[in-house]
Amino acid sequence: MAPVPSVRLLILGKQGAGKGTQCARLARHYAVPHISTGEMFRAAEKSGSEFGQELARYMRVGDLIPDELVVAFVVERLQRDDAQRGFILDGFPRTANQADALAKMLDPLEIDIAIDLQVPTEVVLQRLASRRVCRECGFNYGVGVPPKVDWTCDLCGGEVVERGDDTAAAIERRLKLYEKETEPLVVWYLTRDKLVVVDGVGDPDVVTARLIGAVDRRLRRTPGEGTQK
């Protein structure tokens, strides 16, 4: 059996585009860690630490967390042993400043590919309104993947509730912030010949196959080839 290639990958896309689900699948496929800043921040918030409380204030209203806080978190995570042969970033970078910080962090290495997982806003709104999270272990349930027993986590038996950052007001604010602050990342990576656009609508297995195909094509490409889309 051929060895699994190392990969340094990040996923862009609106909240609710399915990034978390697909990143977890890609992480298993390529045997690298799925690094979700959202999950890291929610764990910090749950810890009740001073840092966690500061993060909670931003998350409750749907504001973007300041770059310096996010970058410090990611720097520490990427320095761990399990991320040395690759990783899949979910939720970072969110701004051009964060993309610059990531590039400096990795130098002389680079991101292999930045995937823009595209899902229409109306689909995203339906997904976000349907998301739930276990109050105890933090496992997320999305549209089409509910817990087997209503309001009870399949993993730990904890109570499954609406995510605190998925209120209607917070959802609307996050999507507006995405349009203003995050979409320029598409241009940032496009100009560096790192961007691949993948359709995120459809059965999760089909979307996973699209993503793996896009990543594998990029890993096989030679200098001078155009960006795969």
**Cis before residue 93, ω within 30 degrees of 0?**
yes
Q: Is 131 a catalytic residue?
A: yes
Distance CA 171, CA 141 (A): 17
Q: Do 146 and 42 touch, CB atoms closer than 8 A?
A: no
DSSP, collapsed to helix, strand or coil, labels residue 158 as coil
Tokens of 40: 């890291």
Active site residue 163: yes
Tell me, yes or no, if 8 is annotated catalytic: no
Out of 25, 127, 174, 194, pick the active-site residue. Answer: 174
| Residue 118 near residue 197, CB atoms below 8 Å | yes
Q: Out of 77, 132, 163, 194, which one is annotated catalytic?
A: 163
Q: Given the residues 8, 77, 94, 194, select the one marked as catalytic.
A: 94
How far is the C-alpha of 141 from the C-alpha of 21, rounded, in Å?
10
Annotated active-site residue in 131, 132, 194, 218: 131
Which of these is catalytic: 19, 25, 194, 210?
A: 19
- Measured CA angle at 37 (ends 76, 127), to 5 deg: 170
174 catalytic? Reply is yes
Q: Is 19 known to be catalytic?
A: yes
What is the set of active-site residues?
Answer: 19, 94, 131, 163, 174
